[in-house]
Amino acid sequence: MTGNESASKKARTDEKFQLFYWPGIPGRGEPIRLAFEEAGVDYEDVAYTKGVSAVTGLLGTGAHFAPPILRNGDLEISQLPNIMFYLGPKLKLVPDDDARFKVNQLFLTAMDCQNEAHDTHHPISTGLYYEDQKDAALERAKDFRENRIPKFFKHFEAVLAANKESKHEWLVGDKLTYADLGLTYLVEGLLFAFPRAVGELYSKFPKVFALHQRVKVRPRIKAYYESDRRKEFSNCVYRHYPELDAPEKDIDEVVPGKGGKKQPAD
């Protein structure tokens, strides 16, 4: 390890990262966890160490609208993309040059799709139960499955195809960035929420699904997925309601989901 590498590692490990997010779900806090896990950096998931009251105590003061919230020393920021943009350079998950803005652009695009996924089960109001807006959800989910998911995947497939620097393995440059983590989480969530619909897309977007698998088997990510720190999808951004998925048919690759219970929006 060179002197610069040693100093860089020490600078990262000396920082005290605290993540404030709801317990029991991956939700919008998960890309942040994936970034910490991939970087091998210690962090405190505060809801599990100090209770959910430590999260709710930061709300309603005018400082933050909603979790996730990141604290590092005297700095306290919220909004998932903002947090990732801050962490990218610190965790070495972006290039050192202006390409970091491309990383942010692609992460934001993945999160646009994530927001649309959430709106399939709460298309009218987050204050209503799913069952109270089911008819609208059926219509919204059909359009999302048939038009929006393929449109987003087509874009990411093209980005990967154009990136010769990484031999089409990563979205930006020749190394994994937090944009790749964001896309991986998006694919993982969509496979849970719409296993039949997304399972039919493997042959159409092979580079997207190859990236998803490539990230999942990275040593630190794999260890995280196999640990109890990683929470299963349930009633958060990504929810599985069988009636919102594509009609059943014989397909080779399907990741089964779980039925959802009556819950308000996250």
Inform me whether the pLDDT recorded for 6 exceeds 60: no
SS3 for 32-88 is HHHHHHHHCCCEEEHHHHCCCHHHHCCCCCCCCCCCCEEEECCEEEECHHHHHHHHH
Query: How does residue 236 score in pLDDT terms, banded at 50, 70 and 90?
Result: confident
Percentage of the chain beyond pLDDT 70 is: 89
pLDDT confidence of residue 250: 47
Q: CA dist 10 to 39, 74, 95, 245, Å?
A: 13, 19, 19, 47
Q: Domain 99-218 carries which CATH code? A: 1.20.1050.10
Using CB atoms within 10 Å of the CB of residue 182, give its burial: 0 to 12 exposed, 13 to 18 middle, 19+ buried: buried
Q: Residue 18, SS3? A: strand
Rounded Cα–Cα distance for residues 193 and 144 (Å): 12
Query: How does residue 209 score in pLDDT terms, banded at 50, 70 and 90?
Result: very high
- Two tokens at 206? 């092979």
Q: Which amino acid is at 214?
A: R
pLDDT confidence of residue 256: 40
Q: Which amino acid is at 246?
A: A
pTM of the model: 0.88
Rounded Cα–Cα distance for residues 149 and 116 (Å): 9
Tell me the pLDDT tens digit for each residue of 35-92. 999 999 999 999 999 999 999 999 988 999 999 999 999 999 999 999 999 999 999 9
Query: How does residue 198 score in pLDDT terms, banded at 50, 70 and 90?
Result: very high
Rounded Cα–Cα distance for residues 142 and 71 (Å): 39
Q: Does domain 3-90 have CATH number 3.20.20.70?
A: no
Inform me whether the pLDDT recorded for 174 exceeds 60: yes
Tell me the pLDDT tens digit for each residue of 77-89. 999 999 999 999 9
102-106, 139-143, 233-237, 262-266: segment of lowest average pLDDT? 262-266
Note the Cα 31 to chain centre separation in Å: 4
pLDDT confidence of residue 12: 52
DSSP 8-state class, residue 247: P
Query: How does residue 13 score in pLDDT terms, banded at 50, 70 and 90?
Result: low
- Two tokens at 172? 């930006």
Query: How does residue 266 score in pLDDT terms, banded at 50, 70 and 90?
Result: low
Query: How does residue 258 score in pLDDT terms, banded at 50, 70 and 90?
Result: very low
pLDDT confidence of residue 240: 96
Residue 225 or 9, more confident? 225
Strand order in the sheet with 17-20: 43-45, 17-20, 69-72, 75-78
Domain with CATH 1.20.1050.10 in the chain: 99-218
